[in-house]
Structure 1
Amino acid sequence: MIIGIIPARFASTRLKGKPLKDIGGKPMLQHTWENAKKSKLLSDVVIAVDDERVYEVAQRFGARVEMTPKDLETGSDRIAYVAKKLFSSEIIVNIQGDEPFIPGKMIDEAIEPLLFDKNVAISTLAKRITNVDELNSPNIPKVVFDYNNFALYFSRSPIPYVREVASDKQKLLVADIYKHIGLYVYRKEYLLEFTS
């Protein structure tokens, strides 16, 4: 089985109560969950929460919800905590709760490498940056790939460094610079090893 898990922390460091922020009359988390449910490859979508308020709201809109300890350090730790309970799952998809507009099709595209190659343990998504504001925003993680499309590193600073260009706009014209999309797909055993 392929299970999507959405980690949703109420006490987000950058925006407290973020999962419950209203977007068009619905909580951000509900948008994320509804779009994840549009994936053709996910067998189920579970929301991993650390707060009763988020738990209650998610239950009201019909989600399967799992309570996790507040002291888990990362979203990956929260995902692994829930994944351990999902005995029949083989592939786990970490869908960030603050990705309310992620299309189900993109989730499926991230899953496919693990279906076609048993040696692939993890995959993610990235999109080319096309404007200077995204390039310079510390709120948008950037990713650099090698020639085989394996991620080398992630940063909130503009990467890679591009020599001999006069402006950030020129960087975008001469270099392929990518932003990370908030999604990771893991083989369950790799996720549990990675977070242990």
Structure 2
Amino acid sequence: MASLRTCVVIPARMDSVRLPGKMLLRETGRSLIEHTHAVALRAQTPEAVIVATDHSAIADEVRRFGGVAVMTSPDCQSGADRVAEVASRLPQYDLFVNLQGDEPELDPAAIDRLVAQFDVDAATPMATLAAPLEDPELLHDPNVVKVVFDSTGRAMYFSRSPIPFVRDAVSATAVGRAPLFHQHIGIYAYRRDFLTQLPQLAPSPLEQAEKLEQLRVLQAGHTIRVGVIPHAASGIDTAADYAAFVRRHCRAEAA
């Protein structure tokens, strides 16, 4: 199979609901968006990394550290819309990876694992990642999205509820022992043609019920492949998340 030219696009908006301006936080000496950009650069398969943003301050920061920033339309309703807008301008790439700007601790190999899903299935339009879910508390946390997939790695359903439902009693320690439960990792890759059509799909009833955009794709009859990685990284959603990241980073720098 011919190598697929891949571009990572990092959607980065200023007005995060739970932590406004988080892309520019820099208690480690580097901004959060620079940390995530560095993750993408360390992956082996992408040829380019672009930050897609709605704010000139983020674009200026990206250019300051030597990255490429693209201003996207204020009409974009989601990160996927920003990635699709960038893709419409870059016909030379076959695949686009949507990497959230608040993932500074993602293993770069996870990006390569994601891209590899298109070698497994040459027809799949979209792929994502998951990790075994070993914490019983996270299984019941609606902010942690769960996914089930078939024996070939195609997603069957995503939910904020624990899936699959285990009818018979199971102890908390059994969760994750055999990888029955999986946490969805919010990183996606799309074939270019599919991505540019994605904004045209109407919101689906399942998407509106769960508030999960990927269900729009499944309910429309499209395939999402799921690659499995060993562990989920800690994204930055709140001030507490960022403070914990800073502590981990400082310990690593001191080691």
The answer, yes or no, to whether TM exceeds 0.5 is yes
Per-residue deviation, 1:182: 2.2
Q: Decide which moves more: 167-176 or 18-27.
A: 167-176
In the superposition, relative to structure 1, how do residues 62 and 84 fare at CA in structure 2: closer, same or farther (>3 Å)? Answer: same
Cα pair 1:165 1:171 within 8 Å, conserved: no
Query: What is the letter of the counterpart of residue 15 of structure 1?
Result: L
Cα pair 1:162 1:171 within 8 Å, conserved: no
Per-residue deviation, 1:153: 2.0
Q: Would you tell me which structure has more strand in proportion to its own residues?
A: 1
In the TM superposition, structure 1's runs of 4+ consecutive aligned residues that sit over 6 Å from their partners are none
Q: Decide which moves more: 106-115 or 153-162.
A: 153-162
Cα pair 1:94 1:184 within 8 Å, conserved: yes
In the superposition, relative to structure 1, how do residues 157 and 22 fare at CA in structure 2: closer, same or farther (>3 Å)? Answer: farther
1:183 corresponds to which of 152, 163, 187: 187
Per-residue deviation, 1:120: 2.0
Per-residue deviation, 1:49: 0.4
C-alpha distance in 2, partners of 1:71/1:55?
17
- Counterpart in the other structure of 1:42: 46
- Counterpart in the other structure of 1:158: 162
What is the percent sequence identity of the aligned residues?
36
TM-score when scaled to structure 2? 0.71
Per-residue deviation, 1:122: 1.3
C-alpha distance in 1, partners of 2:121/2:151?
18
1:56 equivalent to 2:54? Answer no
The one-character-per-residue Cα deviations of 1:102-132 (angstroms, maximum 9, x if unpaired) are 1221101110121354212211111001112
- Counterpart in the other structure of 1:16: 20
- Counterpart in the other structure of 2:102: 98
Q: How many residues align?
A: 196
Query: What is the letter of the counterpart of residue 132 of structure 2?
Result: R
The one-character-per-residue Cα deviations of 1:89-110 (angstroms, maximum 9, x if unpaired) are 1111111112111122110111
Q: Decide which moves more: 145-154 or 70-79.
A: 145-154
| Paired residue secondary structure (1:45) | strand
Cα pair 2:133 2:175 within 8 Å, conserved: no
C-alpha distance in 1, partners of 2:177/2:91?
47
TM-score when scaled to structure 1? 0.90
Q: Which runs of 5+ in 2 are unaligned?
A: 201-255
In the superposition, relative to structure 1, how do residues 125 and 11 fare at CA in structure 2: closer, same or farther (>3 Å)? Answer: same
C-alpha distance in 2, partners of 1:190/1:47?
20
C-alpha distance in 2, partners of 1:165/1:26?
47
Cα pair 2:131 2:182 within 8 Å, conserved: yes
